[in-house]
Amino acid sequence: MDSAISTAADAAAQRDVDAPGERPQGGGGRRVAAWFSALLLLVPTVVVACRVADTDATTPIPQLLAFLPWLLVPAGAALLLALLARWRTGMIWAAAVLAVAGWFVRPYDTGLTEKPSGKVIAGVEVLTSNVEFGNATEDLLAAIKREQPDLVFVQECAEECSEGLAREIPLADYPHRNVVEGKLAFGSAILSKYPLRTAPGIDSTLAQPNSVAEIAGREVHLQLAHPMPPVPSGLDDWRRELGQLRTYAATVKDAPGIIAGDFNSSQDHAAFRRVLDAGKLRDAAVLGGAARTPSWPTMVSRPLGTQIDHVLISEEFSVRSARFLELADTDHRALLTKLELHDAR
């Protein structure tokens, strides 16, 4: 009889350990593991919930959304701790966060992944680079000379940068330019081998020039992107300027177009996805096999970081390749994409 009572007690204790929602039993170690599991899940849960709700919310959510894939690390650790604690609720919670976050790590699909109709009428190579206050001018000039892209988009092109482009890049190679000079991060430039007509740019804190290029007899709209970063004190400016890019994209969505630059946002930001959706745009890095390749900050080695530098293309373009280039003295990697323009009329 004593043996039967003991066995029943042991079974009841085990049910207490395994019961969902119950505090883990069986020693302080398990309780500590469960507490740490819950703590590790708090931030990933809130960020993933905002991603599901399609909102950037407020600080610190926009900053954390940029690094959403890395929230898999604390969520995975939380699952391990929940297993050690035999905390069933924690296991289910952590597994759910991991599953949802893992789903959103997939490249964002705008539904425009099919190759454009019509024959290829031109190959177009596009280089975009944030040279951080002009500090990376020397490496940018070397990259332009080496790669010879057809279109160049430069952000934070301070005096050293604009002067270097004028001095070192022959007009014979890039006869068409739209350069907005300015100090530190304000300046920007578009260089083109194709005829270029300057158009009104976006009225923003940092220069975001706009042009229309003539490529193989087609007018292609070119917009340089450089909205303000989502720092806690500047979230309103960040949202407003990404909203301006969204409005521009919607305005020209029925014409060939390229929006390239430092968007200060990743595919996990709702404001960035709305630019894609409004303009029926696709991310060339995604189509070129470089999805989730980090472009910022360069102070950490790959695969750490996040991709905030993009070349967005309209449905008239297909992508042959996309790769990120290391430039010295800037916190951004440059992005070089090889595109094909199709005659889809």
Which tens digit of pLDDT belongs to each residue from 186-213?
999 999 999 999 998 899 999 999 999 9
Determine how β-strand 257-262 pairs with β-strand 218-225: parallel
Query: What percentage of residues in the chain have a pLDDT greater than 90?
Result: 86
Residue 298 pLDDT exceeds 70: yes
pLDDT at 156: 98
Buried b / exposed e along 232-271 (16+ C-beta atoms within 10 A):
eebbebbbebbebbbebbeebbeebbbbbbbbbbbbbbbb
For residue 270, give the H/E element and its range. Answer: helix 270-279
pLDDT at 108: 87
Could you say which DSSP state residue 314 is in?
-
pLDDT at 115: 77
3-state SS, residue 259: strand
Could you say which DSSP state residue 178 is in?
E
Radius of gyration of the CA atoms of the chain, in A: 25
* For range 214-223, the mean pLDDT: 97
Q: Is 13 or 268 the better-scoring residue by pLDDT? A: 268
Q: Is 191 or 22 the better-scoring residue by pLDDT? A: 191
pLDDT at 86: 95
Residue 167 pLDDT exceeds 90: yes
Q: Which fold has domain 120-342?
A: Deoxyribonuclease I; Chain A (3.60.10)
* For range 12-21, the mean pLDDT: 43
Cβ(305)–Cβ(283) below 8 Å: no
pLDDT at 111: 60
In the chain, what are the domain boundaries? 2-105, 120-342
* For range 140-154, the mean pLDDT: 98
Residue 92 pLDDT exceeds 90: yes
- HSE (side-chain half, CA atoms, 13 Å) at 190: 27
Rounded distance between C-alpha atoms, residue 250 and residue 247, angstroms:
5
pLDDT at 20: 43
* For range 164-189, the mean pLDDT: 97
* CA neighbor of 150 nearest in space, from 343, 337, 311, 320: 337
pLDDT band for position 345 (cuts 50, 70, 90): low
Q: Is 212 or 27 the better-scoring residue by pLDDT? A: 212
